Amino acid sequence: MKWIFSLFCLQIFAYEAILTDIEGTTTSISFVRDTLFPYAKEHMRDFIEKNQSNLEVQRLLGEVQAISHSQNLEEVITTLYTWMDQDQKITPLKVLQGMLWEEGYERGDFYGHIYEDALDKFIEWQGENLSLYVYSSGSIHAQKLLFSHTQFGDLTPLFSGFFDTTIGKKKDISSYLAIAKAIGCKAEEILFLSDSIDEINAAIAAGMKSILLVREGENSDTLLPFVSTFQEIDLQSSSRSDLP
């Protein structure tokens, strides 16, 4: 009977999937802030003017116009630059940035940065038949671009799926419930990794287990479980029922 009970507990708390953030988690914040964002600001106007006849670009510009009540293309472009300055997580902006970054990746202007400890764990977890997913405020297109153009080559085959703000904002509990439903797992069977305390709290409230990544000492005074690298993540201890 004791053996049966132990097996039952193992099933309850075993993970089926790992859900990870990107910026500050798998990828250096400096890469996003010092490479991707400045590149988008430098090239956004030229990109829009060159591609404004593209139907997808037109659709996205229309969304920007509807949200901001802009009157013309110049006001739409000004709005995009304002949103970039404010680091707004607004979907049409993120999609346009992703399209723009694609040109940069394909020209070899930069490569997607991935921490080696994250890659090592992804390979290990995939070998243990865990499904890996990404959830980032950057568009799904931008996520795939980053992971397919890394210093280690194309890493997209490691992942079973990608999620962005089209499924919900990253600080909303409902977003994590929607992701669990999309994955086909119970929330408690998913481990979420992020460098954002607000995101971690939302995932925990949705029923997920979560671990905070503290890459450069920020948020190290939190009471939440945290690690500095992926190598410190122990799936057995992080699945204990006494953790948040």
Condensed to tens digits (0 to 9), the pLDDT of residues 72-109 reads 999 999 999 999 999 998 999 999 999 999 999 999 99
Residue 19 main-chain phi, psi, to 5 deg:
-115, 125
The pLDDT, as a whole number, for residue 148 is 97
pTM, full prediction: 0.81
The pLDDT, as a whole number, for residue 14 is 78
Q: SS3 for 132? A: strand
The pLDDT, as a whole number, for residue 123 is 97
Whole-angstrom distance, CA of residue 197 vs CA of residue 200: 5
For the chain, domain boundaries: 2-27+112-238, 32-107
For 143-199, the pLDDT digits (tens) are 999 999 999 999 999 999 999 999 999 999 999 999 999 999 999 999 999 999 999
pLDDT above 70 coverage of the chain, percent: 89
The pLDDT, as a whole number, for residue 222 is 62
Please, which residues bridge with residue 210 across strands? 192
Average model confidence (pLDDT) for the chain?
89
Residue 217 main-chain phi, psi, to 5 deg:
90, -10
Lowest mean pLDDT among 128-142, 157-171, 215-229: 215-229
Burial of 156 (0-12, 13-18, 19+ CB in 10 A): middle
Nearest to 214 by CA among 201, 202, 224, 229: 229
Q: Is the pLDDT of residue 7 over 50?
A: no
Sign for the pseudo-dihedral over CA of 164, 169, 170, 173 = negative
Higher pLDDT residue, 96 or 10? 96
- Residue with token string 């410190």: 232
Q: How confident is the model at residue 12 (pLDDT cuts 50, 70, 90)?
A: very low
Q: Is the pLDDT of residue 244 over 90?
A: no
Cβ atoms of residues 129 and 157 within 8 Å: no
Q: Is the pLDDT of residue 239 over 90?
A: no
Q: Which CATH number fits domain 2-27+112-238: 3.40.30.10, 3.30.420.40, 3.40.50.300, 3.40.50.1000?
A: 3.40.50.1000
Whole-angstrom distance, CA of residue 7 vs CA of residue 213: 30
Whole-angstrom distance, CA of residue 58 vs CA of residue 50: 12
Query: What separation in angstroms does the CA of 130 have from each of 15, 23, 69, 118, 237?
Result: 7, 22, 45, 15, 16
Strands ordered across the beta sheet of 17-20: 161-163, 131-135, 17-20, 190-194, 209-213, 226-227
How confident is the model over 9-32, as a mean pLDDT? 82
The pLDDT, as a whole number, for residue 6 is 32
The pLDDT, as a whole number, for residue 226 is 84
Q: 32-107 is classed in which CATH architecture? A: Orthogonal Bundle (1.10)
Q: Is the pLDDT of residue 11 over 70?
A: no
Q: How confident is the model at residue 224 (pLDDT cuts 50, 70, 90)?
A: confident
Q: Is the pLDDT of residue 10 over 80?
A: no
